Structure 1
Amino acid sequence: METWEGPPAMSLVPTNSKAPQVKMSAQESCLSLIKYFLFVFNLFFFVLGSLIFCFGIWILVDKTSFVSFVGLSFVALQIWSKVLAVSGILTMGLALLGCVGALKELRCLLGLYFGMLLLLFATQITLGILISTQRVRLERRVREVALEAIQNYRTDPEETAAEESWDYVQFQLRCCGWYSPQDWFPVLILRSNESEVHHVPCSCYNSSANNDSTIFDKMPQLSRFGPRARPRHSMDLCVVPADDHIYSEGCAQGLQKWLHNNLISIVGICLGIGLLELGFMTLSIFLCRNLDHVYDRLSRYH
C-alpha cells in the first residue's frame, strides 16, 4: 500500500545564481580595459611614426630648408632621410596592427602583432649579444671603415656620402682623423703643391679656439676663418693648414668619451624599449587568448 510522503522538500538556503554572470562581467571589463589601453598607446605610436616619416620625407624633398634650419650642409641627408622614412613606415605598420587588432578584437591581427614584437625583441637581444661578444671585431671594422674613408676622401665626386658623414662626425665630436690629425697628411687630394704645409678638411677647424664663427655654405665649406687660416677650395673641397687652430684629438678617443658620457642614457633607453615591448606582448597575447573564452562563457548564461 502506497503512502503519501507529502510535498518534496525545498531548500530554504538562497542560491546565488548571478555569481557566474558577475564574475564574467568583471573579466569582460578587465579585457575591455586592456583593449582600449593597447589601442590608445598604439595610436600614439602610429602618430609618432607618421611624424618620423613626414620628417624624413621633408629632408629628402626640401633639403635647402632643412640645411638652413640646422645650419649644417655636409650631413649625408639622403641616407638619413631614407632611414627616418623607413623607420616611420615600420612604426606606423606595427602600431596599426595593434590598434585595429585591439579595437576590433581580431585574434589574427593580435597574433601577428605579438609575432612582430617578438621578432623585434629577439633581434634587439641578438644584436646586444653580438655587440658584447664581438666588440673587438666590431671596433676593428669601424677603424678600417674610418681609415678607408680618410684615404679615399673626395676621390669620387659622385660618391661623397661617406666623406660627408665623416666630416659630420669630426664636427660633432670635435675631433680630427681617427687617431690624430696626422691621419690626413698622406691623403693626396689634401696636399698642397705650393708648399710642404699639410692640410686637413675644414671639419677639423676649431673655430672656438680662435673666437671665430663657423658658417657652412657648401659641403663642407667655411666662409670665415681666423687670421692665419687660408682655406683652399676646389669645387666643394675645403681644407685648412694643419698648423692652424684644428682639433688635436682623434675621433677614436672622442667616440670613446661620447660612449662613456652617454652610456647610462643608452642603456636606459634600450631597457625602456625592451620593457615596453614585453608589456605590449603580454597584453596582446593575454587579450588574444581570453577573448573567445569569455564570450563563450557569457553566452551560456544568456
Structure 2
Amino acid sequence: MDTCEGPPIVSLAPTYPKEKMSAQESCLSLIKYFLFVFNLFFFVLGSLFFCFGIWVLIDKTSFAFFMGLSFMPLQTWAKVLAVSGVLTMTLALLGCLGALKELRCLLGLYFGMLLLLFATQITIGILIYTQRTRLERRVQELVLQTIQGYGANLGDTAAEENWDYTQFQLRCCGWHSPRDWISARMLKGNESEGPLVPCSCYNSTATNDSSSYDKLLSQHMGTADLCTLPAKAPYYREGCAQSLRKWLHNNLISIVAICLGAGLLELSFMTLSIFLCRNLDHVYDRLARYR
C-alpha cells in the first residue's frame, strides 16, 4: 500500500552562525552594562548634589547656612544644586532601569529626555550668541537699577547681595566704573568723609593695613555694609562690565571644552540607548528561533 508523502517542510527562518549570534549578544550585553554603570555613577553624583543643596537650605546649625544668611548666592546655588540633583537622579534612574531590565519604553524615554536636554542647550547657546547685545543691555539695566536703589528697601536685599558678591569675586566696582555708585541717590554720604559705596568695592589686598578697612566698615554697621570712600582709599577702579569681559575671554577655552564634553557625552549616551532599544528585541527573537 502506497503512502503519500508530502514534500519536506523547509524552515523559512534564517539561520545564523553561532559565533555571529554570540558576538551580537556580547556586544549588547557590553552596551547594557556600560549604560548601567555610567548612569549609576551619575545617580550617585546627583544624589550628592541634592543632599548638599538640601543640607545648606534646612540645617540651621551648619556653617553653610550661617554663610547663606549673609550671601544670597550661596542659597541660590544651593537651590540650583538641589534641583539639578533631582533631574540628574531621575535621568540616571531611567537609564539604569532601562538598560538593566532591558525595557524599551524606559530606554526610549531616556533617549527622549537626553535629546530634549541637548536641544535645549543648543537653543540656549544660539540665543546667547545671537542676542548677546540685547542680553548685555538688559543686564546693564538691571545692575544700574540695583545700584540706584541700593539700600532703599531693607526687606528685599537679594539683588544687592548678589551684586555685592559679584563685585567681590570679580574685583570690580559698579558696572561701568565706581562713578555709578557715586551717582546713586541713596549713597550720597558726608562730603567731609567721602561718598558711600558698598564695602565689596574696597580693595583690602591693596594695603597691608587691615585696620583701615575695619574702621571704614564700622562707621556704617547698620546700613548694609556701606563704607566711606576717601580720595586715597584703595578700591577697585575697574567696572564689572570690563571685568566680566576679561573673565569670559580668559576662560573661553575652558567654557567651550566643558560644553563640548557635555554635548559629546550626551550624544554618546543617546546613541547607545537608541541602539540598544532598537536591536535588543530583534536579536533575542533571532536567538530564540535559532535555539
Name the CA shift for 1:123/1:280 in 2 (closer, same or farther; >3 Å): same
2:194 aligns with one of 193, 197, 201 = 197
State, as a whole percentage, how many aligned pairs show the same letter.
70
1:95 aligns with one of 82, 92, 96 = 92
How far is the alpha carbon of 1:273 from its aligned partner? 0.2
Deviations 1:158-215 (A, max 9, x none): 21111111000000000000011110112233222574721110011101111255xx
Name the CA shift for 1:129/1:40 in 2 (closer, same or farther; >3 Å): same
User: Counterpart of 2:151 in 1: which secondary structure?
Assistant: coil
User: Counterpart of 2:156 in 1: which secondary structure?
Assistant: coil
How far apart in 2 are the matches of 1:174 and 1:135?
Answer: 23
Aligned: 1:26 with 2:16: no
Name the CA shift for 1:225/1:72 in 2 (closer, same or farther; >3 Å): farther
Deviations 1:202-254 (A, max 9, x none): 011101111255xxxxxxxxxx5348746432535122222311111100011
Superposed, 1:143-154 pairs within 5 Å as 143-154=140-151
Say if 2:189 and 2:228, in contact at 8 Å, map to a contact too: no
1:173 aligns with one of 146, 170, 177 = 170
Structure 2: gaps (5+ residues)? 1-13
How far is the alpha carbon of 1:19 from its aligned partner? 5.2
Structure 1: gaps (5+ residues)? 1-16, 214-223
Deviates more, 1:184-193 or 1:26-35: 184-193
Which amino acid is 2:159 matched to?
A
* Aligned residue number for residue 134 of structure 1: 131
How far is the alpha carbon of 1:82 from its aligned partner? 1.2
Name the CA shift for 1:71/1:293 in 2 (closer, same or farther; >3 Å): closer
Say if 1:56 and 1:85, in contact at 8 Å, map to a contact too: yes
* Aligned residue number for residue 241 of structure 1: 228
How far apart in 2 are the matches of 1:121 and 1:104?
Answer: 25
Task: Give the alignment's Cα RMSD to 1 decimal.
Answer: 2.2
How far is the alpha carbon of 1:132 from its aligned partner? 1.1
How far is the alpha carbon of 1:262 from its aligned partner? 0.5
Deviating beyond 6 angstroms after TM superposition, the runs of 4 or more aligned structure 1 residues are: none
2:80 aligns with one of 80, 83, 86 = 83
User: Counterpart of 1:225 in 2: which secondary structure?
Assistant: helix
Which amino acid is 2:135 matched to?
L
Say if 2:15 and 2:290, in contact at 8 Å, map to a contact too: no
Deviates more, 1:58-67 or 1:162-171: 58-67
Superposed, 1:5-44 pairs within 5 Å as 20-44=17-41
How far is the alpha carbon of 1:76 from its aligned partner? 3.1
Which amino acid is 1:279 matched to?
S
Task: Calculate the TM-score normalised by the size of structure 2.
Answer: 0.88
Name the CA shift for 1:236/1:230 in 2 (closer, same or farther; >3 Å): closer
How far apart in 2 are the matches of 1:128 and 1:113?
Answer: 23
Name the CA shift for 1:258/1:27 in 2 (closer, same or farther; >3 Å): same
Name the CA shift for 1:145/1:126 in 2 (closer, same or farther; >3 Å): same
1:265 aligns with one of 254, 267, 273 = 254
Considering fraction of residues, name the structure with more helix.
Answer: 2
User: Counterpart of 1:157 in 2: which secondary structure?
Assistant: coil
1:162 aligns with one of 159, 163, 167 = 159
Deviates more, 1:191-200 or 1:135-144: 191-200
Say if 1:39 and 1:102, in contact at 8 Å, map to a contact too: yes
Say if 1:97 and 1:109, in contact at 8 Å, map to a contact too: yes
Count of residues in correspondence between the two structures: 275
User: Counterpart of 1:200 in 2: which secondary structure?
Assistant: strand
Which amino acid is 2:28 matched to?
L
Name the CA shift for 1:71/1:50 in 2 (closer, same or farther; >3 Å): closer
User: Counterpart of 2:17 in 1: which secondary structure?
Assistant: helix
